[in-house]
Amino acid sequence: MKFIVDQQVEDIEMPENLKLNTFLKEFHSTCPHPECSFGYYGFAFGQSPFPVPKLIQEALIKNADKGAYAPVSGIPELRNAISKYNKHYFGMDIASERIYVGPGTKELIFNLLEILHGTVILPTPAWLGYLPQIRFLKKNYHMLPTRANKKISPNDLRKLELRLQDRQKILILNNPNNPTGLLYDRLELEEIADVCREQNITVISDEIYAQTTYDFSKFVSMGKIYPEGTFVTNGLSKSHAAGGYRLGYVIFPQYAIDLKEQFKKILATEFTAVSTPIQHAAIAGFEISKEIDDYFDVTRNIHHIMGEYTYHALSSIEGVKATKPDATFYLLADFNSFASDLQKAKIATSQKLSESLILHPYHTAIVGGDSLVLERNDFSARIAYVDYDGAKVYQNYLDNKPKSSSERIEFVKNNAPRVVAGIEMIIKFFENIRKYTLHDLQIQKSSSVTPS
């Protein structure tokens, strides 16, 4: 029997992360070299490596008997806990009626794009999740390329907005940012908010990495700066290392009363409610406790140490520009100064660059520029520095906190040898690119680099 797929689905591509997963699996099942059984250095996947906090795990077990459907917007105890959490950590007074719980922020962002009419403004580089959703919904959209500092320029935003004819415009702000790891400070947010207010732009502020901000006192939510026009999304996935729980929330703008029923209708139509036991478990994650507070502190410090090392190591390659992360577990490395050498080696696109780096002998997985909504020939890549055993590293950090900068470097070497070795591979690759063509790159392989 032949099934006909709806055109709407035909028109969108497989999300890059899933495509990459398939590619990596296929490559390793077909590579003939014995060393290929080793796997690869993983800089491609954006997942927190730490265990889910014990409190949450225990609450999940305790609530395994909750078999009834939950209310569409989320159970009241959870919405209350999220409200208090936002007060405590982000200094925002949010009535729990403004909070909607969903199966991850990805779904909630999709739901927001469904109910909000209008043209989407997508700053680039961007997280690879937004564009397929925008395309799937057949929304008008415009890219807003960031400048050399990789942040939205308020002037560029104003200029773009003035060209758009639509009755409503929606800016997707991702702060802290995936893929750059950069944080917008209060002044930068105020300047963006001024333009949004002036031009009546609605903001979806994806703040899923808020808790990972290395100096947490610097994080400011757009919901605080522009409360009348911002939808804030956040959840358990990154801060609590619980992406698999599939739980996120959205805070509605202050006076969006007429939208609320429409939104509830969409949630009820699409997923009814989030799993009830998961909602009960999430309460433990959002309630204020020393255990969770310590967990945030330790995990953000470890991300900081790994980020600092990765940034310095990659920046030491002549010609490489990397963003210096303030948060998250990513940075953006710009390899464009190698463009002519890469082209000589028949690497003309960022996709080809990712494929060449995964080949023997480099075994290194990165996310290339076109998956970050950059031009196909933009040789920038997202580097995620989470390829280590999170549970072990968490304990080692507690046992012996590194203090000086040399202790921090030692900490990475002892605790994240794959991150260290993977960066060495990237360094070797670009050294070799300067010297050889792609063909040579593959021939001279293990003589110069051998994965450990």
Residues that bind ligand PLP (CB under 6 A): 46, 104-106, 127, 129, 174, 178, 206, 208, 235, 237, 243, 248
Which residue lies nearer to ligand PLP by CB, 104 or 325?
104
- What is the Cα–Cα distance from 89 to 300, expressed in whole angstroms? 14
**Residue 17 CB, nearest approach to ligand PLP (Å):** 8
Which residue lies nearer to ligand PLP by CB, 106 or 303?
106
For ligand PLP, which residue has the nearest CB?
104
Start-to-end Cα distance in the chain: 49
Which residue lies nearer to ligand PLP by CB, 325 or 451?
325
- What is the Cα–Cα distance from 201 to 193, expressed in whole angstroms? 9
**Residue 37 CB, nearest approach to ligand PLP (Å):** 29
**Residue 2 CB, nearest approach to ligand PLP (Å):** 34
In this structure, which amino acid lies at residue 411?
F
Distance of CA 97 to the CA centre of its chain: 27
Round the CA-based radius of gyration of the chain to a whole number and report it: 22
- What is the Cα–Cα distance from 222 to 203, expressed in whole angstroms? 9
**Residue 208 CB, nearest approach to ligand PLP (Å):** 5
Which residue lies nearer to ligand PLP by CB, 129 or 451?
129
Which residue lies nearer to ligand PLP by CB, 105 or 349?
105
**Residue 254 CB, nearest approach to ligand PLP (Å):** 23
Decide: 350 and 27 in contact? Cβ < 8 Å. no
330-334/230-235 β-pairing: unpaired
**Residue 330 CB, nearest approach to ligand PLP (Å):** 8
Q: Which two tokens stand for residue 52?
A: 């889910």
Which residue lies nearer to ligand PLP by CB, 160 or 386?
386
CA distances from 266 to 73, 137, 260 (A): 11, 14, 10
Spell out the alpha helix ranges (H) of 363-449: 390-399, 405-415, 417-435, 438-443, 445-448
3-class SS at 219? Answer: coil
**Residue 390 CB, nearest approach to ligand PLP (Å):** 16
Which residue lies nearer to ligand PLP by CB, 150 or 408?
150
Decide: 115 and 253 in contact? Cβ < 8 Å. no
